[in-house]
Amino acid sequence: MIQQLLVFLAVTTAYTVAYVPSFLPEHLAEYSHSVVDDSTKATCDTTMLNQCTLAFYNQFAPGPVPFSNETVFQMALQQYLNVQGVDGWANIKTWMNTLVTCVGGQQAYFNCYNWTGLMTAWNINDLTAKQWNVRFLSLDYDCGPGYPVLIQNFYCIQGVAMHEGPVIQQCVANFTAAQTNQPSMTCQNIVNYLTCVEYPYITHCGPAAGGLVCHGERIAYYVYNPECASQAQLHCQGAPGKK
Ligand SMILES: *[C@@H]1O[C@H](CO)[C@@H](O)[C@H](O)[C@H]1NC(C)=O
Ligand SMILES: *[C@@H]1O[C@H](CO)[C@@H](O)[C@H](O)[C@H]1NC(C)=O
Ligand SMILES: *[C@@H]1O[C@H](CO)[C@@H](O)[C@H](O)[C@H]1NC(C)=O
């Protein structure tokens, strides 16, 4: 449990600071229901998954996909954005459209990058698989409903991530302390953490940017603590794509 939370924090913190925002779209939740209702199988063609992921990765980095280490993927993406700036996102959006089509559409995309399937497909442990799951859900949001806000606020959000490190660290410290004192209140503690992290972005960049970053954190929250998913709806106000 503690280890899981530490990983959660490591992911979300790196996520904010490195700035690749995102969130779990509401339509994902609806989507998983419709899978059950329609009795359709949550299938993924692993051969296509591997081919398409490689083609996507090779758009910004040469060589084989670093399956066993998602950090290498994140760093390559970050490096690409450091060079290209905000314009790089237009290319990533195009490549994402290609990727989704390549694996067989939006439903296949969610099935394929679900961490439970990735563990087998890529022969990786659950923590690494969850990192990949978070990454591809994030990219899907950033290149979907989050895209206009992302483009408009890219440099502002990046600036906050760079200059408000101590504030964000304080949010992490508060969360850690809350978990120690009130371990049974994990979901509420995470909600407080999301509110805390969103705040500097709202102040400096505006509510839509705050919501975008908050939803980025929420993806990790959803993957690592799915039992808290219903409470996640309480927050990330002003985020794009929210009904
Ligand atoms: C993953 O790659 C990064 C960057 O090269 C490295 O720092 C880290 O130690 C690697 N992690 C593992 C578990 O191998
Ligand atoms: C991932 O797959 C498992 C097993 O098929 C399923 O129970 C779970 O709901 C899926 N998660 C998402 C986010 O679709
Ligand atoms: C952290 O918690 C303390 C004590 O509850 C509170 O005063 C402070 O405002 C919190 N810091 C942040 C950044 O939320």
**pLDDT tens per residue, range 68-123:** 999 999 999 999 999 999 999 999 999 999 999 999 999 999 999 999 999 999 99
Q: Verify whether ligand 3 is closer than 6 Å to residue 197 (CB atom).
A: no
For 18, the 3-state DSSP assignment is helix
Residues 6+ apart with CB under 8 A from 232: 24, 190, 191, 194, 218, 221, 222
- Which tokens belong to 69? 């280490």
Q: Are residues 87 and 169 in the same domain?
A: no
Of the ranges 17-21, 81-85, 162-166, 239-243, which is most confident?
81-85
Q: Of 144, 178, 198, which residue sits at a domain end?
A: 144
Q: Tell how far the Cα of 72 is from the centroid of ligand 1, in angstroms.
A: 7
**pLDDT tens per residue, range 110-154:** 999 999 999 999 999 999 999 999 999 999 999 999 999 999 999
Q: Are residues 93 and 139 in the same domain?
A: yes
How far is CA 193 from its chain centroid? 16
Q: Please give the Cα distance from 211 to 183 (Å, whole number).
A: 27
Mean pLDDT value across residues 156-179: 91
pLDDT at 88: 96
- pTM (predicted TM-score): 0.81
Q: What is the DSSP letter of 69?
A: -
**Pocket residue to mutate for ligand 2, from 31, 116, 132, most atoms within 8 A of Cβ:** 116
Q: Tell how far the Cα of 114 is from the centroid of ligand 2, in angstroms.
A: 6
Q: Are residues 81 and 99 in the same domain?
A: yes
Supply the range of the domain harboring residue 171.
Answer: 154-243
pLDDT at 25: 37
What is the atom index within ligand 3 of the atom nearest the CA of 170? Answer: 13
Q: Please give the Cα distance from 208 to 205 (Å, whole number).
A: 8
The protein residue whose alpha carbon is closest to atom 3 in ligand 3 is: 174
Considering only CA atoms, which of 213, 136, 189 is closest in space to residue 2?
A: 189
Query: Structurally, how many domains does the chain consist of?
Result: 2
Q: Are residues 201 and 138 in the same domain?
A: no
Q: Are residues 186 and 104 in the same domain?
A: no
